[in-house]
């Protein structure tokens, strides 16, 4: 038999620092939208994503529908993912942070979409050196039409912000701000804003029905009118005031309708709702 000769030891490939690129704490609608966006944009594969949720049914749905990994253990997700996205309600954030704290690693980037919860509170819960970026997205992200605004915590790096904006741009538009106090106003405007638009749509439909239209006709007209008006706002290169003036003829129907809205305090009511929602965001952040 040929004599065995000692060869060089086989080089083993180093194990990756983390088995998952992205982890989600919370598996609700926003997490689902982001997972779809990240995968569709090619930023990661389903196998590189893990999500935890206390609801077993949600875990099953995520696993079956999106082919991602799931867990009931928030600490395990925190330990095993390079980027951890906190997608839970602000009312339970302190409990969740306590579950995660023992598993926090210096290499991990934490991204929170918990409305109103400031970075200082997140850092205190995760450990004072935690790298945190706070983001306020909105629900049109479910259709890839969202708006997100990000702000960095004390220890987050410029590269962290760039990564977070890249992630959220897979589900809409995203931008950063420097002053975290502005995120409460962002919450009151774009975070809650879709609901204001939906209420306006309800009112237009009700008005159409009151004027004699069938509900399905009023609904069709309302939805396309809002879609078209939004496209004009984004693509016509004109201010809202200028576009409104273009539709408003002296003595015409539009002027009559706008006059009634003004008489009933429409503009003041909408502006006030943003301010009140902003105030509530501050309250939520204070716990």
Give the domain CATH number at 146. Answer: 3.40.50.720
CA angle (191, 149, 189) in 5-degree steps: 30
pLDDT per residue rounded down to tens, the chain (287 residues): 444 444 444 444 444 455 789 999 999 999 999 999 999 999 999 999 999 999 999 999 999 999 999 999 999 999 999 999 999 998 899 999 999 999 999 899 999 999 889 999 999 999 988 999 999 999 999 999 999 999 999 999 999 999 999 999 999 999 999 999 999 999 999 999 999 999 999 999 999 999 999 999 999 999 999 999 999 999 999 999 999 999 999 999 999 999 999 999 999 999 999 999 999 988 877 76
For the packed helices 93-100 and 119-126, what is the interaxial angle rounded to 10 degrees? 40
* pTM for the predicted model, two decimal places: 0.86
Is 162 in the same domain as 204?
no
**Reduced to 3 states, what is the DSSP secondary structure of residue 84?**
strand
Do residues 68 and 19 make contact, with C-beta atoms less than 8 angstroms apart?
Answer: no
Last residue of a domain, one of 162, 183, 204: 183
Q: Give me the domain span that covers residue 227.
A: 193-285
Q: Classify residue 55: in a domain, yes or no.
A: yes
Environment class of 10 (CB within 10 Å of its CB; exposed 0-12, middle 13-18, buried 19+): exposed
E-only strand ranges, 109-162: 109-112, 131-136, 146-152
Last residue of a domain, one of 183, 207, 223: 183
Is 56 in the same domain as 138?
yes
- Per-residue DSSP letter, 113: -
């Amino acid at each position: 038999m040929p004599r065995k000769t000692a060869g060089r030891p086989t080089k083993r490939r180093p194990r990756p620092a983390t088995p998952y690129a992205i982890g989600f704490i919370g598996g609700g609608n926003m997490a689902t939208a982001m997972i779809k966006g990240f995968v569709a944009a090619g930023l990661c594969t389903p196998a590189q994503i893990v999500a935890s949720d206390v609801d077993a049914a949600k875990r099953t749905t995520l696993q079956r529908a999106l082919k991602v990994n799931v867990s009931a253990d928030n600490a395990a997700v925190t330990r095993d993912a390079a980027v951890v996205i906190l997608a839970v309600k602000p009312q339970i954030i302190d409990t969740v942070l306590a579950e995660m704290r023992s598993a926090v690693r210096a290499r991990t980037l934490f991204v929170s979409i918990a409305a109103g919860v400031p970075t200082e509170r997140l850092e205190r819960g995760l450990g004072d050196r935690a790298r945190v970026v706070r983001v306020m997205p909105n629900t049109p992200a479910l259709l890839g039409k969202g708006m997100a605004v990000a702000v960095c915590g004390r220890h987050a790096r410029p590269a962290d912000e760039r990564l977070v904006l890249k992630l959220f741009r897979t589900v809409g538009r995203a931008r950063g701000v420097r002053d975290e106090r502005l995120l409460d106003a962002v919450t009151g405007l774009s975070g809650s804003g879709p609901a204001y638009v939906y209420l306006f749509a309800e009112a237009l439909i009700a008005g159409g029905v009151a004027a004699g239209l069938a509900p399905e006709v009023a609904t069709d007209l309302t939805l396309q009118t809002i879609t078209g008006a939004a496209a004009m706002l984004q693509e016509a290169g004109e201010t809202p005031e200028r576009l409104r003036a273009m539709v408003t003829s002296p003595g015409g129907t539009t002027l009559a309708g706008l006059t009634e809205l003004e008489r009933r305090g429409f503009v003041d009511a909408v502006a006030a709702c943003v301010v009140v929602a902003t105030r509530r965001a501050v309250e939520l952040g204070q716990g």
